[in-house]
Amino acid sequence: MKISWKVILLWTLPALAIGFFLWQGAFGSSGIEIGQNTARTRMTYGRFLEYLDNDRVRSVDLYENGRTAIVAAVDPQLNNQLQQWRVDLPANSPELISKLREAKVSFDIHPPRNEGAIWGLLGNLIFPVLLIAGLFLLFRRSSNVPGGPGQAMNFAKSKARFQMEAKTGVMFDDVAGIEEAKEELQEVVTFLKKPERFTAVGARIPKGVLLVGPPGTGKTLLAKAIAGEAGVPFFSISGSEFVEMFVGVGASRVRDLFKKAKENAPCIIFIDEIDAVGRQRGAGIGGGNDEREQTLNQLLTEMDGFEGNAGIIIIAATNRPDVLDSALLRPGRFDRQVTVDAPDIKGRLEILDVHARNKKLAPEISLEAIARRTPGFTGADLSNLLNEAAILTARRRKEAITMLEINDAVDRVVAGMEGTPLVDSKSKRLIAYHEVGHAIVGTLLKDHDPVQKVTLIPRGQAQGLTWFTPSEDQSLVSRAQLMARITGALGGRAAEDVIFGDAEVTTGAGNDLQQVTGMARQMVTRFGMSDLGPLSLESQTGEVFLGRDLMSRSEYSEEIASRIDAQVRSIVEHCYDDGKRIIRENRAAIDRLVDLLIEKETIDGEEFRQIVAEYAIVPEKEQYVPHI
């Protein structure tokens, strides 16, 4: 078993201290060095004088300046055998020497020895020296340990990870689905490898590149690919590692980081989650964070200050560009903002192809079908999807991933873990009507996405689910599509109302109503799709940035607020009435689908549409918002 040097020191130092005190106790004072003549018994001074008067004492040895004596005398109780006693003499007994001479007793006086003083001096010198040496060794060794007590004076140093030749294991070929961002960043790599190509025509490479996008879209992965492609010194640090509780530490770390970068230029500095240190100055009720603002000021100066930082390229990533300080985003600091958004169907197909390289897929697997079924998925979501499918495959003891595992993995990623199937009861039939209501309304509306499947298998908090798969990625959504989505979301509540009556309406539509209200309000306040006209009455961001948006949010009169509420209610009521009409006109198809769904628990989209085609009555496509 390997014993740490810290453990050895922790045991050795207390042992030295204890030994020091024991040493002092043993040798600090001059004791009686009697050797082999040490008496085993004691004799009182009175008895000693009695023995002396009776001529029984043969010899006396005096120690400690006459305070102690070793007496050799004849003991009458032991047949006059010669014995030794120790006698404690009084402090003032000058007549004792005279009595010994008169009795003609042999006596000797032993002077005190100075060995105790010598050992005490050595103890006072040796042990403190050993203790100081041990403590010095302890602090010296701990100074090389990250976070050790010896690092207390290094808290102002930069914590950036440095690689002289970044070997991240990621290249541009490993990054898929964001070709536009790769093309922008390829110029950075080319400049670092061949700067003369740009300087020959007077071009100046951007000093900073800001990667902006939702979480999981591949911003950090792009930075790793740049480091792997460029082959230049690479510094990586998180924005939160600059800010500490001590004022001035963050600014000191920024200075230290750029000092090291200038010594290794040309190089790349990657700052992840820069919004942790680059938030707007002066924001917040009661003032901002002084330490964060000082750190930001130092960062602004180092990026584009009086001295400049030639040869250093800063790459930063954030998913909150709206909270960054405007001075940080200006040209000369972050010249470019590269948007890394969620991939389209082509990008998702490329990402799936990258993540499927080390997965064993069945021959019938179609990556294109998976890409079509996963709109809005980021690169991280797709990676997690294939990993979940592989886990399910191993759990089911299969040799390759099939579409069944893919579909179950999609359901698990989106809706949560599969729950216990419902028993056949009134509750199960009501949930079946609710889900069929969603599906049939969405199927019969021209502008709604097609049904992918309907299931009664619980997942997460949902007791049943209806999946819709868009035929194509939609970057723009029309008014008719929004109205169709609202009507489809209200289809479940409409089915409960029509089939079971108003008294049997359940809480199952709670989440649907939240989505419906949000979409209707955005139609009125953001998209100008109401009688209020083409007005944007609310900001584009739903999140409030404390200290800025809280005080400067768009305000409108109470009359406009009342008209907004009326318009939202009008849109929802119109769509709800439209949904109930579709349910009433297609009651036969709904009953047939509910019986089949209770029997099978899951109906795929193709089978669902075939049954609807046999019974359904297609409603009128006119959709409008009545005037108030």
Q: Which residues are catalytic?
A: 435
> What distance in Å separates the CA atoms of residue 593 and residue 584, rounded to the nearest whole number?
14
> What distance in Å separates the CA atoms of residue 425 and residue 395, rounded to the nearest whole number?
31
Phi, psi of 139 (to 5 degrees): -70, -35
In this structure, which long-range contacts are made by residues 114-118, counting pairs with CB atoms below 8 Å and at least 24 apart in sequence? 114/30, 115/27, 115/30, 115/33, 116/27, 116/28, 116/29, 116/30, 116/31, 117/30
> What distance in Å separates the CA atoms of residue 480 and residue 34, rounded to the nearest whole number?
115
Six-digit token string for 207 = 């000093």
Strand 234-238 with 267-272, pairing: parallel
3-state secondary structure string across 39-64: CCEEECHHHHHHHHHCCCEEEEEEEC
> What distance in Å separates the CA atoms of residue 13 and residue 200, rounded to the nearest whole number?
67
> What share of residues in the chain are helix, strand, coil (percent, to 5)?
50, 15, 35
- CA separation, residue 110 to residues 61, 73, 85 (Å): 7, 19, 17
Residues 6+ apart with CB under 8 A from 43: 51, 71, 85, 86, 87
- 430: nearest Cα among 514, 509, 515, 513: 509
Phi, psi of 163 (to 5 degrees): -130, 120
**DSSP classification of residue 502:** G
> What distance in Å separates the CA atoms of residue 334 and residue 537, rounded to the nearest whole number?
31
Would you say 433 and 594 are in contact if contact means Cβ atoms under 8 Å apart? yes
Six-digit token string for 278 = 């680059």
Cis, bond preceding 149 (omega within 30 deg of 0):
no
Six-digit token string for 287 = 């003032």
R_g of the chain computed on alpha carbons: 45
Burial 103-117 (b: 16+ CB within 10 A, else e): eebebeebeeeeebe
